[in-house]
Amino acid sequence: MSFVSVQNLQKSYGASPVFTDINCQIQRGEFVTLLGPSGCGKSTLLRCIAGLTAVDSGKILLDGNDLVPLSPQKRGIGMVFQSYALFPNMTVEQNVAFGLRMQKVNADDSRSRVREVLQLVELQDFASRYPHQLSGGQCQRVALARSLVTRPRLLLLDEPLSALDARIRKHLREQIRQIQRELGLTTIFVTHDQEEALTMSDRIFLMNQGRIVQSGDAETLYTAPVDVFAAGFIGNYNLLDADSASRLLQRPVNSRLAIRPEAIALSLSGELEGQVRSHSLLGNVIRYRVEARGVELLVDVLNRSSADLHPDGQRVSLSIDPTALCEVA
Amino acid sequence: MSRAEPGTSRLYHRLMVYLLFIILLLPLAGTLLYSLATSWSASLLPSGLTFKWYLALWSDPRFLAAFGQSLLVCVGALLLSVLLILPLLFVVHYHFPRLDALMNILILLPFAVPPVVSSVGLLQLYGSGPMAMVGTPWILIGCYFTVALPFMYRAITNNLQAINLRDLMDAAQLLGASTFQAAFLVVLPNLRKGLLVALLLSFSFLFGEFVFANLLVGTRYETLQVYLNNMRNSSGHFNSALVISYFLFVLVLTWAANRLNKDKS
Amino acid sequence: MNSIKRSKWLASLFLLPFALFFIIFQIAPLAWVAIHSLQAESGWGLANFSKVFESRFYRQAIQHSLEISFWSSVFGILIAVLGSYSLRKVDSRLRDFVNAFANMTSNFAGVPLAFAFIILLGFNGALTMLLKQAGIIEDFNLYSKTGLIILYTYFQIPLGVLLLYPAFDALREDWRESAELLGANAWQYWLHIGLPVMTPALLGTFVILLANALGAYATVYALTTGNFNVLPIRIAALVAGDISLDPNLASALAVILVGLMTLVTVIHQWLLKRSYHVAR
């Protein structure tokens, strides 16, 4: 029995549907990501689970109980917002203690639990600061602490790292994942950043236009996209229609093919011939645009030595790993 | 917002807004009804409806004189304001931007100092002697200028900041215009709408001014508000027709200002 | 450099007409009042002020002014808070209409308002009749302190709505949602988060309403033909009435009036400093 079960969920704003018939299951202790472009419905789904947005029909089961008729106060769910949503008139300690206060936990227990969770996010020295005195990363850690201290059954994170700069984002990513593992807390994470999704999740639900397009672990999603959208969203897939694919591989191909750039190797001699059109240096990877048999392909080569540097115009030979050829809808 | 019952909270908010509306409407509605009633005393509703009070009002020469005098004073005051404030704003924003902070404090004075207080000094200073203007419309025009000042200053300042005065002037001057030409041909046309809105709103405010009009001038130059007060002993129906006529006039002005404001964006 | 300096001098000439008129009609009267408040028959000193504070009559004027201003501001801000908060939550057609209507009724203060209230709530007013028939009140005197408080409350409401409506922008929706998920119901949200965050705006509006009511003259004059004992009436009576004219005493009263308004503003600033600092 899954811990969280979303069944036949429907939601529309007036005449325009957000999602029609969403189903997904999440196991206890899993870290699951809802991934997708803006407007795909991932944040709305999260808010429906939290109870902040009403659903039109369907069920949301948490440990067997349907959440839909319950108000947000009663769902036992913690949530971290993109904008932190820290109460500006309260100190860090008061912010974190708020949920315990609503649960009428007595003052001593509350104080020790607050201290404990602040240590977990490494902010125990900031207890009497106000939110406007904290940096973005610190604010988000306080928001995390505030949602954890009430010992929720489910933790929701709505693009919590999008407003932070890259270095802090990486650090917080690890911290969140570590805390989640320690506590064994079932977590749903929403993001549009595929790198975040791939590095943090046990499982990913890829969403587009209100549907769950594909679900699976990071490896599966990355190496075996099911359709054009998935292939276009994750990674930098080369998408070939059937004709171009036939021309390239010189055998009949019935469907569209997706090929990962790193699955193509370049050498100076071989059967499949092509020419380097342009390149860009991405640091540890060199990305080439190569034309072979009238088809333009992106090829990623690890920047190991000068032998991997091919000037524009150079004639090269491509070798494609046959297992990396992915048929997409 | 409670998820479990969004309908109830929506209902509550509608109810509160209607309540607010009704509270604000009641005095107006009562007056309107009274102005249309044949007679209405000690009973819940008037006995009959008629337009005769409005006819009596608009054919009363004293009313028309008061209306006209109010118009004159307000228009005069606004004309004076435009002549004084536009150059002021221009000079402050172009040459002395730091004066803006001082100006913002100065324009608080008409708000912070109630008209009764100013009237004490005004009556003594200008009641007699070289600058005697008490009892004439001139003192009213001067005082109304100070009343309109905060509205006009703020409205045109916002406008100037929005059109980026410095850049416009610099561009015009680089293209060969003198300061005067740049001000008249480039800046002024861009201020037209904001100026008009400010004028309309100030006008409605000035039209309803009573304190200065009554204390400094009184019946010697009867404005509409003073006339209204002086007619207190005549028929309540007549007074109501007067009040409603005044209010309708102001309504039209503010409606026009609102429309202009919306057109701007 | 020289031409710029010259043009600046020329420009400052344009400031002169404005300064002239402003001094004549705003600064000079104020200065006269300030100076003459300290001049009595006995020469310079605080004689006028002691006369005011020793007189039961004038003390009553001050008390009435404070009471009416305070209560009308309290009721006015209450109605304005509830009204403008709900106004933000209704659909845009209703909202725009009521907003515009509230703005227009702010012009309905002074003499016309007094007359309208006499029609409604005077001794033979329609509303008075209605309430008497319904048995809610025995007798209602509009020309009393209570009547004035009601009247003042009425014209405070549009001003309150005007000031408070944009102030609710300070309340972020995700604070509300966060509080909900942490277990707070609507009352607890307002008590612990909503009201504290709104406090600066509420205090500021209250102070403006107080000042507005303290200085109001037209409405009470028109209602009671200058017979009710409040500060503005007393001041005007001493300079433009039929009985004894004493502009120096009037100046002292005027200084007290402005002093009260200043005191209220100072208290407001002090209270603001005591509440939490929100980074602007």
Nearest Cα residue in chain C from B11: C90
Residues on chain B touching A72 (C-beta within 8 angstroms) = 3
Chains A–B, number of C-beta pairs less than 8 Å apart? 11
CB contact under 8 A, A81 and C178: yes
Domains in chain A, number: 2
Spatial separation of the C-alpha atoms in residues C63 and C57, rounded to whole Å: 10
Residue C142 token pair: 């509009």
So what's the pLDDT on residue A250? 87
Indicate whether A293 and A225 sit together in one domain: no
Indicate whether A200 and A51 sit together in one domain: yes
In a domain, A27, yes or no: yes
Indicate whether A13 and A134 sit together in one domain: yes
Nearest Cα residue in chain B from C253: B117
Question: Stretch A106-130: mean pLDDT, rounded?
Answer: 94
pLDDT-derived band of residue C10, with 50, 70 and 90 as boundaries?
confident
B146-160, B180-194, C55-69: range with lowest mean pLDDT: B180-194
CB contact under 8 A, C180 and A72: yes
User: In angstroms, what separates the C-alpha of C11 from chain B's closest C-alpha?
Assistant: 6
C258 near C252, Cβ under 8 Å? Answer: no
CB contact under 8 A, B142 and C214: no
A147 near A102, Cβ under 8 Å? Answer: no
pLDDT tens column, B48-101: 788 888 888 888 899 999 999 999 999 999 999 999 998 898 888 888 888 888
CB contact under 8 A, C101 and B25: yes
C152 near B27, Cβ under 8 Å? Answer: no
Spatial separation of the C-alpha atoms in residues A144 and A159, rounded to whole Å: 13
Q: Is the pLDDT of residue B3 over 50?
A: no
In a domain, B55, yes or no: no
Indicate whether A276 and A228 sit together in one domain: no
In a domain, A149, yes or no: yes
CB contact under 8 A, B2 and A54: no
Indicate whether B10 and B111 sit together in one domain: no
Which CATH number does the domain C55-274 belong to among 1.10.3720.10, 3.40.50.1000, 2.40.70.10, 1.20.1250.20? 1.10.3720.10
Residues on chain C touching B228 (C-beta within 8 angstroms) = 111-112, 115
Q: Tell me, what amino acid is at C199?
A: T
Note the helical H segments in B164-235: 165-174, 179-181, 188-207, 211-212, 224-230
Q: Is B197 exposed, middle or buried (0-12, 13-18, 19+ CB in 10 A)?
A: buried
CB contact under 8 A, B119 and C29: yes
Indicate whether A187 and A64 sit together in one domain: yes
> What are the CA-CA distances from residue B119 to residues B125, B141, B223, C260 (Å)?
10, 14, 17, 18
Spatial separation of the C-alpha atoms in residues C209 and C78, rounded to whole Å: 12
Residues of chain A whose beta carbon is less than 8 angstroms from a beta carbon of chain C are 50-52, 71-73, 75, 77-79, 81, 83, 85, 87-90, 98-99, 102-103, 130, 132-133, 146-147, 150
A283 near A303, Cβ under 8 Å? Answer: yes
Chain B interface disruption, residue of A71, A74, A77, most B CBs within 10 A: A71
- Name the domain boundary from A176, A199, A232: A232
Q: Tell me, what amino acid is at B102?
A: L
Looking up residue A209, the CATH number of its domain turns out to be 3.40.50.300
Around A69, how many Cα atoms within 13 Å sit in the side-chain half-sphere? 2
Mean of per-residue pLDDT scores for chain B: 85
Indicate whether B76 and B9 sit together in one domain: no
A194 near A35, Cβ under 8 Å? Answer: yes
In a domain, B20, yes or no: yes
Residues of chain B whose beta carbon is less than 8 angstroms from a beta carbon of chain A are 2-4, 6
Indicate whether A215 and A264 sit together in one domain: no
Spatial separation of the C-alpha atoms in residues B215 and C237, rounded to whole Å: 10
Range of the domain at A284: 257-328
Write the DSSP string, A217-266.
-HHHHHH---SHHHHHHSTT-EEE-HHHHHHHHTS---SEEEE-GGGEEE
Question: Stretch C76-99: mean pLDDT, rounded?
Answer: 91
Spatial CA neighbour of C101 closest among B17, A262, A44, A204: B17
User: In angstroms, what separates the C-alpha of B1 from chain A's closest C-alpha?
Assistant: 8
Chains A–C, number of C-beta pairs less than 8 Å apart? 72
CA angle B154, B157, B159 (to 5 degrees): 110
Q: Is the pLDDT of residue C254 over 50?
A: yes
Residue C236 token pair: 């005007």
Nearest Cα residue in chain A from C170: A88
In a domain, B195, yes or no: yes
Which residue, chain included where needed, has tokens 């966060």? C178
Chain A interface disruption, residue of C182, C190, C191, C199, most A CBs within 10 A: C182
So what's the pLDDT on residue C139? 74
CB contact under 8 A, A71 and B3: yes
Residues on chain C touching A90 (C-beta within 8 angstroms) = 192-193
Mean of per-residue pLDDT scores for chain C: 87
A153-157, A227-231, B130-134: range with lowest mean pLDDT: B130-134
Question: Stretch A21-40: mean pLDDT, rounded?
Answer: 93
* Three-state secondary structure call for residue A24: strand
More confident: C119 or C174: C174
A298-302, B210-214, C42-46, C70-74: range with lowest mean pLDDT: C42-46
pLDDT-derived band of residue B4, with 50, 70 and 90 as boundaries?
very low
In a domain, A251, yes or no: no
pLDDT-derived band of residue A201, with 50, 70 and 90 as boundaries?
very high
Chains B–C, number of C-beta pairs less than 8 Å apart? 250
Spatial CA neighbour of C247 closest among B138, B133, B127: B127
Spatial separation of the C-alpha atoms in residues A166 and A161, rounded to whole Å: 9
CB contact under 8 A, C181 and A72: yes
Q: Report C:185-214 residues touching A (Cβ under 8 A).
A: 185, 188, 192-193, 196-197
User: In angstroms, what separates the C-alpha of C277 from chain B's closest C-alpha?
Assistant: 24
In a domain, B187, yes or no: yes
Indicate whether B138 and B11 sit together in one domain: no
ipTM of the complex as predicted: 0.85
Strands (E) located in B25-122: none
Q: Is the pLDDT of residue A216 over 50?
A: yes
> What are the CA-CA distances from residue A271 to residues A246, A264, A296, B113 (Å)?
16, 13, 17, 93
CA angle B128, B129, B135 (to 5 degrees): 30
In a domain, A242, yes or no: no
So what's the pLDDT on residue B6? 65
pTM of the model: 0.81
Q: Residue C204: beta bridge partners?
A: none
Q: Tell me, what amino acid is at C97?
A: F
Inter-axis angle of helices C126-133 and C111-121, nearest 10: 30
The CB-based long-range contact list for C34-39 (8 Å cut-off, 24+ gap) reads C34/C251, C34/C255, C35/C251, C36/B124, C36/C247, C36/C248, C36/C251, C37/C248, C37/C251, C37/C252, C37/C254, C37/C255, C39/C248
Phi–psi pair at B209, nearest 5 degrees: -75, 135
B neighbours by CB contacts (3+ pairs under 8 Å): A, C
Q: Is the pLDDT of residue A116 over 80?
A: yes
Indicate whether A90 and A218 sit together in one domain: yes
In a domain, A245, yes or no: no
Chain C interface disruption, residue of B2, B11, B14, B24, most C CBs within 10 A: B24
Residues on chain A touching C197 (C-beta within 8 angstroms) = 87-89
In a domain, B131, yes or no: yes
Q: Tell me, what amino acid is at A266?
A: L
Residue C149 token pair: 């408080």
CB contact under 8 A, B208 and C112: yes
In a domain, A95, yes or no: yes
So what's the pLDDT on residue C42? 74
- Name the domain boundary from A232, A265, A291: A232
CB contact under 8 A, B2 and C113: no
Nearest Cα residue in chain B from A51: B3
Indicate whether A269 and A320 sit together in one domain: yes
In a domain, B8, yes or no: yes
Give the one of C188, C197, C276 whose C-beta lies nearest to A102's C-beta: C188
The share of chain B scoring above pLDDT 70, in percent, equals: 94
So what's the pLDDT on residue B41? 65
Chain A interface disruption, residue of B1, B2, B3, most A CBs within 10 A: B3
Residues 6+ apart with CB under 8 A from A263: A320, A321, A324
More confident: B128 or A296: A296
Please count the helices (runs of H) and the strands (runs of E) in chain A. Answer: 9, 18
Question: Stretch B190-201: mean pLDDT, rounded?
Answer: 85
Residues on chain A touching C178 (C-beta within 8 angstroms) = 79, 81, 85, 87, 146
C neighbours by CB contacts (3+ pairs under 8 Å): A, B
Q: Is the pLDDT of residue B47 over 90?
A: no
Indicate whether A218 and A85 sit together in one domain: yes
* Three-state secondary structure call for residue C125: coil
Range of the domain at B19: 1-50
Spatial separation of the C-alpha atoms in residues A128 and A141, rounded to whole Å: 15
Residues on chain C touching B80 (C-beta within 8 angstroms) = 21
pLDDT tens column, C14-46: 888 999 999 999 999 999 999 998 887 777 888
Residue C278 contacts A, CB cutoff 8 Å: yes
User: In angstroms, what separates the C-alpha of C49 from chain B's closest C-alpha?
Assistant: 16
The share of chain A scoring above pLDDT 90, in percent, equals: 62
Residues on chain B touching A71 (C-beta within 8 angstroms) = 2-4
pLDDT tens column, C109-149: 889 899 888 888 887 777 787 788 777 777 778 888 888 99
Residues 6+ apart with CB under 8 A from C96: none
pLDDT-derived band of residue B264, with 50, 70 and 90 as boundaries?
low
pLDDT tens column, C263-279: 988 888 888 777 655 44
Indicate whether B66 and B20 sit together in one domain: no
B46 near B254, Cβ under 8 Å? Answer: no
The CB-based long-range contact list for C172-178 (8 Å cut-off, 24+ gap) reads C172/A83, C172/A85, C174/A81, C174/A83, C174/A85, C175/A85, C175/A87, C176/B1, C177/A50, C177/A52, C177/A72, C177/A79, C177/A81, C177/A85, C178/A79, C178/A81, C178/A85, C178/A87, C178/A146
Spatial CA neighbour of C240 closest among A312, B135, A259: B135
Indicate whether B66 and B186 sit together in one domain: yes
Q: Is the pLDDT of residue C245 over 70?
A: yes
